[in-house]
Amino acid sequence: MDTNLTPATKHNRIEMAAIFVMGILLRLPFMSATVDDAFITFRYVRNIISGNGFVFNVGERVLGTTTPFYTLYMALWGSLGLDFITIGKLTNIAADAASAVLLFVLIRRVTNRGVAWTAVLLILCSPYNLQYSASGMETGIYTFIIMLIFYLYAQERFYALAVLGGLLILVRPDGVLALTAVALMWLLERRGLKAGLKYALLAAVVALPWLLFATWYFGSPIPHSVAAKSLTYRSSLPLYWLRILWFVFAQRGGAGGAILIFALLATGGLSVFLRNALRPLRLHLLWLIIYIGIFTFFQSGRFGWYYAPIMPLLFLFVVLGGYEWFRQSQWLPAMTTIMRSKLRYILAAAFIAVLIPALGTAVYGAWQEAHKEVVSEEVVWRPLSQWIKENSTPEAAVALESIGAIGWYTERYIWDEGGLISAKVYALNQETPGNINVVGLLQTYHPDFYIAWDPWELNARFPAPEDKAWFAANYAEVGKYTGSGKTWTLFRLRDR
């Protein structure tokens, strides 16, 4: 069956341009907020530009970033003397806005303009996408490439799809889940195993140069941070990742709202599965199921950028569920009467009157969350780092868990408690699976500075009285830095 999308008319192109511009304008105010983990990649970029190599700590070849493509992309701009952080953020903003355009085109094709605009407005105002597309992370690029791959699949442009597939796993390794969805859909639609293997080989060829380089340079093409997060941040609570997703997306609306959203999601998913007109969206549904299933099974950390890529599809299926309810309600005589009278305009106006304030509330709430990062950078990360720089030599070492901003601003050697960029710390954490081995780190390597989240980390990481006594005897408190409801306490190694 032909699933190709019809060419865009002049009117559709105007709509697409409007969506793209709105997406950018909504995201630009979030550029001032940079999440801590983005600074990890920024430090890799700076070291590449400075000639120190693809490293976080100079001299240690550990792949602690999961986005080599984005790292090299920013390094290219930085090597030209340009502000690679701003360019990286703008690229992600544009990519995220383009994702909304691609979804609009597809939704408009399989439903109608009203459904398409409702879905795209929710997507444009999705709090997680607003925040993380401008946060310095690779989230916008990652989401866009996946949406473009799915679009190309519907268009049957498989060579371009394969090339992008090879790039996707270099943007984020879990991009392989989207390619898995494509492969499964290919088999389900019986497109031919031989042809499928040809395109899979092309994708592998695109990724091969990096995979070979990473194996030679780092010892493995798999980012070290993947294993470190699996060891240190994997939750022991059943279905923890899924429970966080449900809370973020639905449960904040209370029990009634959660039930309604679940019913809409289920209806939207079933309609895509059962209705042939919605067939082009089946690949999106399949990826959504695989993505949620894998992240839940492996109990991945609850990092916001893991949830952001699927938010547009969750909103899409909620809207499709509402659309299906509306379609079925037209069998009712009362609804038929309403839709044939001027009451339909009152119904539409009431819907818009509810939708617009809800979108405004979502955007404002997203900015409040993003502003916490701005405050942290202004009153914690920068002044704390400045104190360390002014009171230590360049050879000094700092131990902490949130290594991004402090590593970026101090320019000191970093002992990463989570082991993301440190194979030595990873080995220590293997002695305490699921927990950070702070005591082992401090007693083994004696870093010049230690930064803790007070009071939680001090209580959690030093449970034994003898550990507390050792710490008090070897480290002295220097000062506290509080911002966004969290206090960072700086300790300095006592003279020995």
pLDDT at residue 304, as a whole number: 86
Summarised one tens digit per residue, pLDDT across range 87-115 is 999 999 999 999 999 999 999 999 999 99
Rounded to the nearest angstrom, the gap between the alpha carbon of residue 427 and the centroid of all alpha carbons in its chain is 27
Summarised one tens digit per residue, pLDDT across range 203-260 is 999 999 999 999 999 999 999 988 888 877 777 777 888 888 888 887 666 777 788 8
Is 231 or 8 the better-scoring residue by pLDDT? 231
In this predicted structure, the answer to whether residue 34 has a pLDDT above a threshold of 70 is yes
User: In whole angstroms, what is the distance from residue 141 CA to residue 74 CA?
Assistant: 13
pLDDT at residue 460, as a whole number: 82
CB 354 within 8 A of CB 458: no
Indicate the fold that domain 372-493 takes in CATH. Rossmann fold (3.40.50)
Peptide bond into 465 cis (omega under 30): no
In this predicted structure, the answer to whether residue 180 has a pLDDT above a threshold of 50 is yes
Burial degree of 164 (CB within 10 A; 0-12, 13-18, 19+): buried
Is 250 or 292 the better-scoring residue by pLDDT? 292
pLDDT at residue 2, as a whole number: 45
What are the φ/ψ torsions at residue 433 (nearest 5 degrees)? Answer: -55, 135
In this predicted structure, the answer to whether residue 82 has a pLDDT above a threshold of 50 is yes
Residue 222: other Cβ atoms inside 10 A:
15
Single out the residue of 240, 216, 360 nearest to residue 302, CA to CA.
Answer: 240
Single out the residue of 282, 290, 284 nearest to residue 189, CA to CA.
Answer: 282
In this predicted structure, the answer to whether residue 197 has a pLDDT above a threshold of 80 is yes
User: In whole angstroms, what is the distance from residue 329 CA to residue 333 CA?
Assistant: 9
Q: What is the rounded end-to-end Cα distance, in angstroms, of the chain? A: 76
In this predicted structure, the answer to whether residue 337 has a pLDDT above a threshold of 80 is no
65: left (phi over 0), alpha (psi -120 to 50) or beta: beta
pLDDT at residue 331, as a whole number: 77
pLDDT at residue 31, as a whole number: 96
Mean pLDDT, residues 428-446: 88
At residue 139, the 3 state secondary structure works out as helix
At residue 311, the 3 state secondary structure works out as helix
Mean pLDDT, residues 80-91: 98
Q: Dihedral of CA 224/228/233/234: which sign? A: positive
What are the extents of the domains in the chain? Answer: 10-329, 372-493
